[in-house]
């Protein structure tokens, strides 16, 4: 059962990396070596979720679509400010955030995103992200969905796999909704 779960997690990350690269490459060219590096990282003992997050951050960065995280993209107010949200292009302050158009984001996640885009691959896998990993995956999903104009198909595929799988890591899978395994 553990081998099946490990293979499924690997497949999920392969799908995410492939879709991110293919869909965002329609907006700008993607270096094949860059994509290969992300997939090679899965060959070791690195957690698939961390590989997907590190790749996603670097993919958005490499294509020039990284969100602005140092100030509100609407009014220019310097970060930090209370209750930041991620809107089109970057952070928005509470006064500028449009309801439903911005994703609430914690200061810890903003800091983790900044660190991930500035460290080496190996350092990215060693960063302690436990508390913010789910929020980082949601941030990346939202950013890539904005870039390609619709939600990623890999998310729908993974949700369907979870729905069809009777048990995941010893617990029921119904209601599980995380982009990365």
Instruction: Give the pLDDT of residue 175.
Output: 35
- Token pair 């996640």 in the structure block, residue: 109
Note if the bond before 133 is cis, omega within 30 degrees: no
In the chain, domain spans? 1-66+117-181, 70-112
Instruction: Give the pLDDT of residue 28.
Output: 52
Residue ranges of the chain whose pLDDT lies below 50: 168-181
Instruction: Give the pLDDT of residue 22.
Output: 67
Contact 68/80 with Cβ under 8 angstroms?
Answer: no
Dist. CA 35–CA 27, nearest whole Å: 16
Instruction: Give the pLDDT of residue 179.
Output: 45
Q: Read off the pTM.
A: 0.72
């Amino acid at each position: 059962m553990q081998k099946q779960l490990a293979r499924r997690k690997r497949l999920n990350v392969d799908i995410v990396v492939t879709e991110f690269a293919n869909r965002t490459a329609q907006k700008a060219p993607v270096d094949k070596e860059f994509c290969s590096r992300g997939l090679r990282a899965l060959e070791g003992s690195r957690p698939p979720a961390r590989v997907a997050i590190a790749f996603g951050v670097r993919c958005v960065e490499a294509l020039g679509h990284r969100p602005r995280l140092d100030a509100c993209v609407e009014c220019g107010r310097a970060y930090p400010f209370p209750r930041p949200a991620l809107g089109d292009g970057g952070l928005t302050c509470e006064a500028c955030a449009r309801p439903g158009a911005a994703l609430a984001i914690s200061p810890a996640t903003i800091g983790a995103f900044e660190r991930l885009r500035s460290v080496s691959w190996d350092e990215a896998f060693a960063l302690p992200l436990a508390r913010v990993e789910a929020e980082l995956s949601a941030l990346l999903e939202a950013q890539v969905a904005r870039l390609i104009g619709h939600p990623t198909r890999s998310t729908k595929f993974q949700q369907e796999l979870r729905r069809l799988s009777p048990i995941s890591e010893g617990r029921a899978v119904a209601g599980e909704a995380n982009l990365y395994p």
